[in-house]
Amino acid sequence: GAVVSQHPSRVICKSGTSVKIECRSLDFQATTMFWYRQFPKQSLMLMATSNEGSKATYEQGVEKDKFLINHASLTLSTLTVTSAHPEDSSFYICSAAGDRGPNQPQHFGDGTRLSIL
Amino acid sequence: AQSVTQLDSHVSVSEGTPVLLRCNYSSSYSPSLFWYVQHPNKGLQLLLKYTSAATLVKGINGFEAEFKKSETSFHLTKPSAHMSDAAEYFCVVMDPRAGRRALTFGSGTRLQVQP
């Protein structure tokens, strides 16, 4: 089945550091990738939709200058949390969708647990 | 607008007994519906999907779900629970309109399986 690889799986860093998270589709071309944030014991909240070769579409309330998204190829999207602070600590999950029609399910990475000290 | 309501935040069953996780949806068009499972500190794995074909959908690991338009429900069932089924389950609705495939998640149901 379709595989999405997310790296790193865990990051612990100091406040003020910028952190980059990578999301790769390993066996299909992902025209669209999605970035989600999940707080403990809560559901996933969509942060932004990333289309290859164009600017990401951010959901209301998500700071685009804080969460930089780049989707430079059909197999790679990156999320950079700039100048991270403790309130940015969370579980970040990416997903990818191919181009085989609007009803195709999304395939998820294993997530990145970000802890800002 | 679309929304998803998972009626139970926690469900506890004994190993070998049936599982029922309830989901109701609201949508102004014909939705695509999914169930995903999340194990601790992991991403989401697709269990099954409904995309306007057969109303009874069979998924992986013995799970199935039935789409009932009259009740706007998409409940997930399994005849016999295994210990490995303990996880968080999300009911998800997708906007199938061209150009927009973001998902709306339910709040999740934590399934506990007692030995």
User: How many Å apart are CA A54 and CA A50, to the nearest integer?
Assistant: 8
pLDDT band of residue A1 (cuts 50, 70, 90) is low
Tokens coding A34? 């999605």
Question: Contact A80/A48 with Cβ under 8 angstroms?
Answer: no
3-state helix, strand, coil in chain B (%, to 5): 5, 55, 40
User: How many Å apart are CA A86 and CA A100, to the nearest integer?
Assistant: 39
Question: Contact A59/A46 with Cβ under 8 angstroms?
Answer: yes
Q: How many Cα atoms within 13 Å fall on the side-chain side of residue B88?
A: 20
CA angle, B69 then B75 then B78, to 5°: 140
| Overall average pLDDT of the A11-26 stretch | 95
Above 90 in pLDDT, residue A47?
Answer: yes
Tens digit of each residue's pLDDT (9 = 90 or more) over B20-29: 999 999 877 7
Place of tokens 């500190």: B41
Chain A contact for B5, CB < 8 A?
no
Percent of chain A with pLDDT over 90: 60
Q: Which residues of chain B have pLDDT under 70?
A: 96-102
Q: Specify the pLDDT at position B98.
A: 46
Question: Contact A55/A64 with Cβ under 8 angstroms?
Answer: no
- Chain B residues touching residue A44 (CB < 8 angstroms): 44, 90, 103, 105
Chain B contact for A46, CB < 8 A?
yes
Tokens coding B49? 């999907």
Percent of chain A with pLDDT over 70: 94
Q: Specify the pLDDT at position A101.
A: 66
